[in-house]
Chains A and B, each alone.
Chain A
């Protein structure tokens, strides 16, 4: 008989404590799942504070001679896209073909707001890349953009027939996010009476 015999073999912990061994393992698995899901999220994509709220009050002058400017009252009546852009913004150039395609399809009216831009450069930008907008306004001070809760250009908002902001897409429109985010939401809004 050795010195250690009084410890029951194979049972280093008292019986009552057994389920507690599992706690660290369960905790680890839970954290692993939470963090794995968190890693997939893009921290730049945040919900707008203005979702389902009326678009801010604004009245901006036109950029072009042949297209009207944009005011809050113009956003009522049918669902529209409001796209903030600037001639100095590189991703705005990238999204230009997507906007042009959408405008040509006639699926929705697109209104543009030229953000903190030189109007001459803004006009040149639309001349070169084509104008997808039915209305183009100038937000020289960038205040209307801040009222929309804009982070930067480009940014695209879906505004419903009542003039409420329903969706905000930060960054450039792509064929992918047009299909997955913009068009389904527009279709749902257009089906509503």
Chain B
């Protein structure tokens, strides 16, 4: 017996709905122009959701993230450049809204700190090796020692 059509429909609706949270960008937010929509998606991936903090607004289901995605699209539609959209967000939420922090005075330590530590470590190792006193060559074995060594080399290996 074939299952009634409405049951299949209901099942389909259930599957579609259970998948819905996987797409944070809702269909009603999307722009019809694929070029603008592509820029909007790329920008949304660079902007932090201020509520969840470790997600981009492109990934987040938060209400504020939705509002910010809509604003990104409105500004692009109004003719803003990508830089102008980012500037709009930075004016309100500061550098923290950018998932990739800008290179400026406040973030020099963040960007160049690891390299500075690497150079510093290299310098320390370099200086340490440069000024290390060479280990004096081992004095030759005395007759006694040479004999001991020969005995040890010739002896059977310890069975244990």
Contacts and interface: CB of A to CB of B under 8 A. Distances in A.
A15 B131 CA distance: 9
Main secondary structure of the interface of B (DSSP, over half): helix
B128 A46 contact: no
B80 interface: no
Main secondary structure of the interface of A (DSSP, over half): loop
Interface residues of A, number: 26
Contact of A20 (B63, B128, B136, B139): B128
A23 interface: yes
Contact of B124 (A3, A23, A43, A50): A23
B29 interface: no
B90 interface: yes
Contacts of B139: 6
A152 B64 contact: yes
B136 A6 contact: yes
A188 to B, nearest CB: 24
Contacts of A15: 133
B53 A43 contact: yes
B92 A50 contact: yes
Interface in A127-152: 142-143, 146-152
B156 interface: no
Contact of B145 (A3, A48, A146): A3
B144 to A, nearest CB: 7
Given A20-B128, A49-B91, A146 B133 contact: no
Interface of A: 1, 3, 6, 14-17, 20, 23, 43-44, 46-50, 116, 142-143, 146-152
